Chains A and B, each alone.
Chain A
Amino acid sequence: MGHVLGRFSRVLCALKLLMDKHTKPLPRVTPDNQPFWDACRRHELLVQHCAACDATFLPPAPLCPHCLELDPGWRVASGRGQVTTFVEIHQNWFPAFADDLPYNVAQIQLDEGPRLTANLVDVQAADIEVGMPVEVVFDDVEPDFTLPRFRPVRT
């Protein structure tokens, strides 16, 4: 019961944070994605891997989109991938991000195949390119919450 209430309060907390325009929102943690976010706190990046059909996928789901196996399981990812697209945001849509403007958001295709959306760090906007190799870094944004971001692979 406490576990259920805890999860519920996390959802309420996330919604409350979104309503507070001066606080950057956190992802909504659900039963389906909780292993992903728990792993980020340990500084591990997970992808879902279906033991039944060997498919690797994201975003987290309670079943494999390829073979419909329930509870398909997880695997630790390499944390490496490449930028498939990116933007630089100049417009102040959300006050909590005003001090960051302009900032980038990218999509990263992991070496395992699935894509994630995240920010790139340690890179100038003019140097970002589609196809750029990147690796995960973990940002402990709250005492109990960690977001993965990505930086260029140093050669």
Chain B
Amino acid sequence: MSAPGLDLSRRAAIAGVGVSHFGRNLPDSQLRLAAIAFKQALDDAGLSRDDVDGLAINLGWPLGVDYDRAADAFGLNVRYVNQTWTHGRFVTMCIQQAAIAVAAGLADVVACIAVASFTRERDILGGPGDFEGLREEGGTHGEYPPYGMTSPAAGAAMAYQRYMSLYDADTRGLGEVAVTMRNHARKNPNAVMQKPMTLADHQNARPIVTPLGLFDCCIVSDGAVVVLITSAERARDLRKPPVYVSGMQGIRAGRDEFIFAPPGLGINQQQPGAVAPRPSDLDAYRMAGIERRDINGLYTYDAFTPLVLFVLERFGFCAPGDAHQWVRGGRIGLGGELPVNTSGGLLSEAHVSGWNSIAEITRQLRGEAGERQIAKASHLQWGTCWGDSVVFSAH
């Protein structure tokens, strides 16, 4: 079993968050949205621009803003940078690297900047501008443009089609996810989607890539989130209570992994045969010194509704093949057993690549979530169906 050589639990914390307005076809440039979120994050933490000496960029140009442009525009003197692919899968990696950097003294304050203008860059998602689809032997979400398989949504649809066949599932569990996210968004004034949605609306929506319909796919929106990460010691002296990074585990990769399916589903070259989580799949809980049952809420990359079912199985909240039933009856809603994406997620709040949920985790653990507040929230998990995770704790 993996034993961390260095105890990084609660060595770093979120000290500030900033969130721009979210919307579709916003007139703002990506840099302007990032600037709004950056200034708000500084104010939230009680820090100045001169305190920021590290940058973690999840989404670079052209969807977002590259590190050098951000440093230049925000007048920073930066001594630490991490910039990942322009993909939502690297939320965890950005946070992890920032936490490691401040714990190791490579930076004092790292600004994690996530900004995306999906409405200005429409061709990037499954269109002619989606160069990654042409990667030799297939794109990163199963894309294969010569066959017209050009969109990430199609990868999620492939996975769910096989799931339905293996487990005799239907799409009502997906509907529960979509409706729950919409209900959460309707308690969040900054969420893009405010119109009520019923299970019937979900079931009757126009098909996008079957078995997925319109409400199984996240919204295409514009917005920015900035998260400031510093050492736990420094965070304790700042304006707001620290939100500790208490547990972490990295992204999984290999022939048994497909980004939009749990291991064992049998997509691409995955060996078929679903397995319950092994101890090595749950390192983040162990590092945080908690059990899975201590998690008060789960936050995940819900670009497509099946991903929510898959993450529940991946971390063992329910057994393989059970999630489509397990989510029904309000279990993942506010007041339920395991609230998921309480600000509305990518499906109904905004697609800031999941960073909108990191902002919500911060609000929840500080007790600032208002109508959406999870009672006695102590430990909240960011975890994805590709197996990475960060556990955040209030103490």
Q: Contact partner of A105 among B154, B207, B255, B267, CB < 8 A? A: B154
**Given A15-B131, A90-B210, A94-B127, A100 and B148 contact (CB-CB distance below 8 Å):** yes
A105→B149 contact, CB < 8 A: yes
A26→B146 contact, CB < 8 A: yes
B209→A84 contact, CB < 8 A: no
B157→A87 contact, CB < 8 A: yes
Interface residue ranges of B151-206 to A (CB < 8 Å): 151, 153-154, 157-159, 161-162, 165, 206
Q: Is A52 interfacial (CB-CB < 8 Å)? A: no
A103→B165 contact, CB < 8 A: no
A85→B161 contact, CB < 8 A: yes
B128→A57 contact, CB < 8 A: no
Chain A 78-91, CB-CB to B under 8 Å as 1, else 0, gives 00000011111111
By size class, the interface of chain B is: 35 or more
CA distance A102 to B266 in the complex (A): 25
**Given A84-B162, A85-B267, A87-B158, A94 and B209 contact (CB-CB distance below 8 Å):** no
In the complex, which residues of chain B have a beta carbon less than 8 angstroms from the beta carbon of A28? 134-136
CA distance A118 to B269 in the complex (A): 14
Q: Contact partner of B162 among A14, A90, A130, CB < 8 A? A: A130
Q: Contact partner of A65 among B127, B157, B161, B255, CB < 8 A? A: B255
In the complex, which residues of chain A have a beta carbon less than 8 angstroms from the beta carbon of B267? 84-85, 107
By size class, the interface of chain A is: 35 or more
**Given A85-B158, A91-B208, A93-B150, A19 and B128 contact (CB-CB distance below 8 Å):** yes
User: Smallest CB-CB separation from A113: which chain B residue?
Assistant: B269
In the complex, which residues of chain A have a beta carbon less than 8 angstroms from the beta carbon of B153? 91
User: Smallest CB-CB separation from A87: which chain B residue?
Assistant: B157
CA distance A84 to B129 in the complex (A): 29
Q: Is A35 interfacial (CB-CB < 8 Å)? A: no
B269→A57 contact, CB < 8 A: yes
B128→A21 contact, CB < 8 A: yes
In the complex, which residues of chain B have a beta carbon less than 8 angstroms from the beta carbon of A21? 123, 127-128
B136→A30 contact, CB < 8 A: yes
* Interface residue ranges, A against B (CB under 8 Å): 14-15, 18-21, 24-28, 30, 32-33, 57-61, 65, 84-91, 93-97, 100, 102-103, 105, 107, 114-115, 117-119, 129-131, 147, 149
Which 9 A-B residue pairs are closest in the complex by CB-CB distance? A59-B137, A93-B126, A85-B162, A21-B128, A130-B165, A87-B157, A105-B149, A97-B148, A88-B210
Additional pairs, 20, CB under 8 Å, beyond known A100-B148, A117-B142? A18-B133, A25-B146, A26-B146, A28-B136, A30-B136, A33-B136, A59-B137, A60-B137, A65-B255, A85-B159, A85-B162, A87-B161, A87-B210, A88-B207, A89-B151, A94-B126, A94-B127, A94-B150, A96-B128, A107-B267
Can you list 14 A-B contacts with CB-CB less than 8 angstroms, sorted by A residue number? A21-B127, A24-B148, A27-B146, A30-B136, A33-B137, A84-B266, A85-B161, A87-B149, A91-B126, A91-B208, A93-B126, A105-B144, A119-B148, A147-B147
